[in-house]
Amino acid sequence: MATDPTKSIQEREISTPFDMSARELLDRLAHLQPSLSVPYLTVSVDWGVEGTSPGREEPEEVKRSQDRSGTQEGDRWRPAIEVIERELDDLIGQHGPRGEVFDSLSGDKRKIHEYLVNELDPAAQGAFLVSCSAQGVFEASGFALPLENKVECGPTPVLYSLMRMVEDYPTYAVLLADQREAVLTFVTLGLADREVAFQGSEFPRHQQQGGWSQRRYQMRAQERIEAFAGDVAEETRVALDALGAQSLIVAGNEVMTSTLDHAFHETVKNRIIDTIHLDIRTDQSELIDATFPIAEQAERRREAAKVDTVQDLVGADARGAAGVEDTLLALQAGQVDELLLVDTFEGTGWADYEMYMYGVGERPSEHPTGGDLSSLVDVDLRNEMIRLALATDATVKIVHSDVPVSEDEDVPDAGEGRPITDAAKALNELGGVAAKLRFTLDETPLSQEI
């Protein structure tokens, strides 16, 4: 029997200048207290480098806002700076020339400019910032993925674009292996952020005639492969459990992938979304290119399954809520375990943050409970429901509506009724938003049970 089949196991975090903890950032922002007197400023940025002033004349002088590492090579610069600063100036001008809001927004602009020009890594493709100088809040993160250039202002941070990025690039793991080595790579937001590398011991030496027979050699070699696969399979289970990864792609040659399939624990097999052939020498970039579409398709299947589950719960009058009003009420009551939101959903509503009240549609002419009418503010329901879900420790799933189109297919124009996914159709039939509940109002919440 083969002994000590694994020479070494090394685990390491992959150094990156980007923020890989977008979910933690979302959680922090969702728990910020609403600010009615002075608003939060939310800025998302497409920090990609454009060519020589695309679609506009080249400035006569390179502005300081363009004088950034990565923008001094020839005429290359970051057009996002002009877009963001122009919108910030317009916003500040609406609240000037003095006052608490004007001062706070002016301070926000200075901090945002300083971060983009002097702190954001040149390799970043996007950035997300939330600032409220009056409240002493400033959160800024750079990402390897672009975001839409957008400046938004309100009593709470606007979280949709960051939530959408997290949903569009799900975390998954790839195990690439052959008979001598293996690498388990975790991919987050389109980048590898940690690895577990396995190095196998040498194969038994194939001696000349008078030593082992060919048959015995092959048996010992197969024993060693199976033992190595057993070590890899067990360490993969431990790593997946530790990081909470729900999707695994197994890659390698047929001999090793089939051997691993027999070695995997059942909890690992349940997370395998595909098995593909890849050479062990495949580099990290090629690995992600080959596996991301698989992870994306698995995420769409997972979305569809979640919509089916909520449909069944709503149909059985069980722990499910559908439609804007019922889902919003469930969010206020802390009932929601998982919020489902179609990516085309839009809705307006109102909030009284002091009384923790929310409603759908235009602000009422009288306060619903006789409170101060001036405390009612307009809100974007999409953002507010995401914020409420995260603030009550619920998960959020944005259900994608676009049907994947192959390269040789024509993409319909915007007004031509583009096809949408079955999951999006089903969720739209429920009102575009629905929720799986922790409890119904005639049940006792687990947190209140003694």
Please state, in angstroms and rounded to a whole number, the distance separating the CA atoms of residues 318 and 240: 32
Q: Which residues lie below 8 Å from residue 327, measured CB to CB, with a gap of 6+?
A: 321, 336, 339, 385, 431, 433, 434, 435
Q: Give residue for tokens 């009724």.
A: 417
Exposed, middle or buried: residue 333 (CB in 10 Å: 0-12, 13-18, 19+)? middle
Quick: pLDDT tens for 250-300: 999 999 999 999 999 999 999 999 999 999 999 999 999 999 999 999 999
Quick: pLDDT tens for 387-444: 999 999 999 999 999 987 655 555 555 555 678 999 999 999 999 999 999 998 877 5
pLDDT of the residue at 444: 56
Residue 234 has pLDDT above 70, yes or no: yes
Quick: pLDDT tens for 56-87: 334 444 444 444 443 444 334 688 989 999 99
Exposed, middle or buried: residue 329 (CB in 10 Å: 0-12, 13-18, 19+)? middle
Q: What's the chain's average pLDDT?
A: 87
CATH T-level fold of 6-16+169-282: Nucleotidyltransferase; domain 5 (3.30.420)
Euclidean distance between the first and the last CA atom of the chain, given in angstroms as a whole number? 54
What is the enclosing helix (H) or strand (E) of 195?
Answer: strand 191-200
Residue 211 has pLDDT above 70, yes or no: no
pLDDT of the residue at 39: 95
| Range in 37-46, 97-106, 195-204, 291-300 with the lowest mean pLDDT | 195-204
Here the tokens at position 278 are 């890849």
Across 192-219, average pLDDT: 71
Domain positions in the chain are 6-16+169-282, 35-154, 302-448
Please state, in angstroms and rounded to a whole number, the distance separating the CA atoms of residues 391 and 377: 19
What is the enclosing helix (H) or strand (E) of 433?
Answer: strand 433-437
Which overall architecture, per CATH, does domain 302-448 show? 2-Layer Sandwich (3.30)
Please state, in angstroms and rounded to a whole number, the distance separating the CA atoms of residues 397 and 342: 8
